[in-house]
Structure 1
Amino acid sequence: MEVEIWSDVMCPFCYIGKRKFEAGLAQFAHKEDVTITWKSFQLNPAMETDPSKNINQYLADIKGWSLEQAEQMNARVTDIAREVGLDYHFDQAIVANSWDAHRFIQLAKKHGLGDAAEERLFRAYFTEGKNTADHATLVELGEGIGLDTSEIEAMLVSDDYTDAVRQDVYEAQQLGVRGVPFFVINRRYAVSGAQQPETFQGALETAWAEWAQQNATLVSANESDATCTQEEGCVLPDSK
């Protein structure tokens, strides 16, 4: 059974959703039979990498907020992340375009290291304040998860995996994905947002029980506001 996860490296709820999905998967009786495939999604394709600016300042600038407002919002997200064991430091998070990070993930997927790449990039971005658009940084992160240095370097100076990233984005559009994280089970069931572990567990159990059914329709399970979208940015559950 396959679970596809559309995500962006700069999406705070994607990392939170990863943890909650992992908790739900851990309670699923057939977890050993689940294959996880990470899919690329860019929240802001036009974002220009700027190591001199952190995400708090970037949000204040593009939203027309005060710096204090941006810090307060991200402090709330930090609290949500802490509930699942994650340590966010938005004051250190560098404004970085995620295009090369997505190509890096596609390379890692080729070697069965897609999940490791996602985890390492999330931690680098949200916890360690690393520039995930910097090629030297990506080489360092890749070495840490077992990728070959020369292969990473060759990919970064080429157009390799461009088509793979674009294909993921196209598939998201065809599925009607408006925000991430977005989880699709067997192309039959979808869970949007950083849902609770029991929601993921229930979706997995439902998909497993209907494994043999044909021509099922993709449906959405308990859509959550805890997502990041290209139009609205990251939306807290009670901020609408």
Structure 2
Amino acid sequence: MKIEIWSDVMCPFCYIGKRNFEKALEQFADKEHIEVVWKSFQLDASIPEIANESQEEYLVRRKGMSQNQVKDMLKNVSQMAEQAGLHYNLDQAVMVNSRKAHHFIQFAKTKNLANEAEERLFQAFFIEGENIADIETLLRIGKDIGLDEKELSSVFTDRKYTDLMNKDIQEAQHIGVNGVPFFVFDRKYAVSGAQPPQAFLETITQSFAEWRKLNPEVKLEIKQGQSCSTDGTCD
């Protein structure tokens, strides 16, 4: 069964939601039958690729809140992250456009490394204070998770990955996604936001039970005889 997750690596609730979802999935008995598909989403495509303000300054301007209100909001977010087992350093966050990071994720998807890409980019942005619009930084992260550096270096100027990112964003708009994280279960149920693990587990359980009825597991009674296998063994 497919679970699709729309996310932006600059969204603090997306990392928290990822961790809570993972805790739920770990408790699910049939997790080997779950396919997780990461989808791109940009909360603010207007952010420049060169940082010119802190996260606090950005939120004061973007949300029209006072500095004290933003400080309180960031403190609450950090406390929520701690409950999920994440130690945010939001004062170190480098506010840059996430476009290149989404190109990185789209390429990682072609190598079955999307989850690893999401995890490392979240870690880089929220914990390590890395610049996720810097190509050298992204190449280093890519190497860390097993991506080919030469292949990855061409991704950031390849229109193909811009199109894949935009396709995800347009798809999100089509199904009514207004904010992230947004989790879609078998295109029947959705969970919006960084819900607690139990909420995810309940939705996984319900959607999988319905999916299994339509996709019953095939169990054959096999009478063994002499045969050859794909590894070249014949007996």
TM range, normalised to the smaller chain?
0.7 to 0.9
User: Match of 2:190, SS?
Assistant: strand
Task: Could you tell me which runs of 5 or more consecutive residues in structure 1 were left unpaired when the two chains were aligned.
Answer: 215-240
**Structure 1 segment 35-184 matched on structure 2, within 5 A:** 35-184=35-184
Q: What one-letter code is carried by the residue in structure 1 that aligns with 2:56?
A: N
Q: What corresponds to 2:11 in structure 1?
A: 11
How far is 1:159 from its partner? 2.1
Q: What corresponds to 1:195 in structure 2?
A: 195
Q: Following the alignment from structure 2 to structure 1, what is the Cα–Cα distance between the partners of residues 76 and 208?
A: 35
How far is 1:52 from its partner? 4.3
Runs of 4+ aligned residues of structure 1 deviating over 4 Å after TM superposition are none
Task: Could you tell me which runs of 5 or more consecutive residues in structure 2 were left unpaired when the two chains were aligned.
Answer: 215-235
When residues 208 and 62 of structure 1 are mapped into structure 2, their CA distance, relative to the original with a 3 A threshold, is closer
Q: What one-letter code is carried by the residue in structure 2 that aligns with 1:12?
A: P
Q: Following the alignment from structure 1 to structure 2, what is the Cα–Cα distance between the partners of residues 185 and 136?
A: 36
Q: Which structure is higher in helix share?
A: 2
Q: What one-letter code is carried by the residue in structure 1 that aligns with 2:128?
A: E
Deviates more, 1:74-83 or 1:201-210: 201-210
Q: Following the alignment from structure 2 to structure 1, what is the Cα–Cα distance between the partners of residues 108 and 20?
A: 23
Q: What corresponds to 2:221 in structure 1?
A: none
Q: Is the 8 A contact 1:142 1:149 kept in 2?
A: yes
Q: Is the 8 A contact 1:100 1:156 kept in 2?
A: yes
User: Match of 1:9, SS?
Assistant: coil
Percent same amino acid among aligned pairs?
49
TM score, norm. by length of structure 1: 0.86
Q: CA RMSD in A?
A: 1.3
How far is 1:144 from its partner? 0.6
Q: What one-letter code is carried by the residue in structure 1 that aligns with 2:188?
A: R
Q: What corresponds to 1:211 in structure 2?
A: 211
User: Match of 2:4, SS?
Assistant: strand
Number of aligned residue pairs: 214
Q: Following the alignment from structure 2 to structure 1, what is the Cα–Cα distance between the partners of residues 140 and 160?
A: 19
Q: What one-letter code is carried by the residue in structure 1 that aligns with 2:47?
A: M
